[in-house]
Amino acid sequence: GAVVSQHPSRVICKSGTSVKIECRSLDFQATTMFWYRQFPKQSLMLMATSNEGSKATYEQGVEKDKFLINHASLTLSTLTVTSAHPEDSSFYICSARYGRAWDTQYFGPGTRLTVL
Amino acid sequence: EDQVTQSPEALRLQEGESSSLNCSYTVSGLRGLFWYRQDPGKGPEFLFTLYSAGEEKEKERLKATLTKKESFLHITAPKPEDSATYLCAVQATIQGAQKLVFGQGTRLTINP
């Protein structure tokens, strides 16, 4: 099946620093990539949708200046959490979709961010 | 408002004890309902897509069914390796865009 990778898998940073998370589709070209956030024992909440070469579309309540998304190529999207604070600690999951159908969406393994 | 509610929140079964997980949804014009499996510290893994009431899909010990208001994930004679969180999601149109709305999941534990 299609493979999506994320790097790093875990990151611990100090409050006020910025953290970049990479999401790559390894064996397909992704027309669309998504970024989700998941708190413990809670569901996935969509943060933003990005298409290669265009600006990301953020969900209501997600600060675009805080969560910078860059989708530079058909296989790479990055999420930068700027000036991170402890409340940003969460599990961030990306997904990549190669077609229009939602069953062509594959999820990455997630990145655990801990802000001290 | 489009909503997905899963029950129970957590379920413990003995190996071989069959059961069902429920996913109730409220969405205007269902275009797809999805089941995923998520292991701890990992991303969701796609299991099934259901598009219309009456549809059923099977994979090994899992069978997903769909009605106009809910979906069930039936687990027959489960094994410890079936332990995971099972997520349900519906495809919804929100502010003109197609998105997946996820339920909170059912944490399934199969004891040997």
Of B32, B43, B99, the CB nearest to A107: B43
Q: Tell which residue, A29, A34, A30, has the closest CA to residue A110.
A: A34
Instruction: Name the stretches of chain B with pLDDT < 70.
Output: none
Residue A45 exposed, middle or buried by CB count within 10 Å (0-12, 13-18, 19+) = middle
| Residue A94, beta-bridge partner list | A35
Is pLDDT above 90 for A81? yes
Q: Name the token pair of A34.
A: 């998504």
Starting at the edge strand that comes first in sequence, how are the strands of the sheet with A76-81 ordered?
A4-7, A19-25, A76-81, A67-73
What confidence score (pLDDT) does residue B10 get? 97
Percent residues over pLDDT 70 in chain A? 99
CA distances to A6, A11, B56 from A87, rounded to whole Å, are: 21, 15, 41
What confidence score (pLDDT) does residue A75 get? 93
A-chain residues within 8 Å CB-CB of B34?
A: 102-103
Q: Tell which residue, A104, A109, A106, A77, has the closest CA to residue A91.
A: A109
A-chain residues within 8 Å CB-CB of B103?
A: 43
What confidence score (pLDDT) does residue A99 get? 84
**What is the distance between the alpha carbons of residues A50 and A84, in angstroms, rounded to a whole number?**
22
What confidence score (pLDDT) does residue A21 get? 98
What confidence score (pLDDT) does residue B101 get? 93
Q: Are B111 and B15 in contact (CB under 8 A)?
A: yes
Of B32, B97, B103, the CB nearest to A102: B32
What confidence score (pLDDT) does residue B55 get? 97
